Amino acid sequence: MDLTPGQAPFFCHFIESYVYYMTLKLALLIFAALLSIKVAMEDVRNLEVSASATFLLALTATAIGFLFPAPGMHPHHAIVGCAMGLMTGLAARWFVKCRHRAAAFGGADVILIAGAGGLLGPFMFGCWLFSAALTGIAFSRMVPVFSKRIRVDGKSMIVIPFCPSIISSAAVFFLALNANAL
């Protein structure tokens, strides 16, 4: 096989593009992990999360779901999952607001649910949301730091920071999906 200078066989281009692909995926995953830690710690400490970090985490999660879909998924499933997550989060926020007459389910929770939908796609969304709720209940019962009594809109309420539950359950589901365990 005669190659002119600067010309490489096909498999070299494949390896080079695979290295770029894996580097981008690893960089996005590390960035998402660092943002996840920041958002979860902010929510536990202050019961408030900065909007920019939350939007960036949701955007990164949806980008990972779109650019690197789990086995058996297609890129458009990330968009559908994100839309499902946004609709579900907004409906839950509206329900909590009507039921308790207080803004206890925050905007960060809605955005993170949309981001998790974009990461996991529409097919695992229902199972994941159920596990996130169970994780939130377990966190609030087992770890006293996770439930706090505060006054919200003039009412005394026990508030659970839900962002750590959303983030941890989405991470477990993402790892299980990519390991073909689900």
Asked if 117 and 88 count as a contact pair (C-beta separation under 8 A), the reply is yes
pLDDT at site 43: 87
For the ranges 11-15, 42-46, 118-122, the maximum mean pLDDT occurs at 118-122
Residue 170 has a pLDDT of 94
Phi and psi torsions of 82, nearest 5°:
-65, -45
What are phi and psi for residue 57, nearest 5 degrees?
-65, -45
Question: Which residues contact residue 179 at a Cβ distance below 8 angstroms, ignoring those fewer than 6 apart?
Answer: none
Residue 11, pLDDT score: 47
Q: What is the pLDDT of residue 80?
A: 95
State the pLDDT at residue 4. Answer: 52
Report in angstroms the alpha-carbon separations of 60 from 46, 86, 118, 163, 182. Answer: 23, 15, 9, 16, 22
Sorted by sequence, the CB contacts under 8 Å of residue 69 that are 6+ apart come out as 75, 77, 78, 121
E strand or H helix at 150 = strand 148-152
Give pTM, 2 decimals.
0.83
Give the mean pLDDT of 29-56.
Answer: 91
Tens of pLDDT along 98-157? 887 766 678 889 999 999 999 999 999 999 999 998 988 888 777 676 677 777 667 777
Q: Which tens digit of pLDDT belongs to each residue from 66-98?
A: 998 888 888 899 999 999 999 999 998 888 888
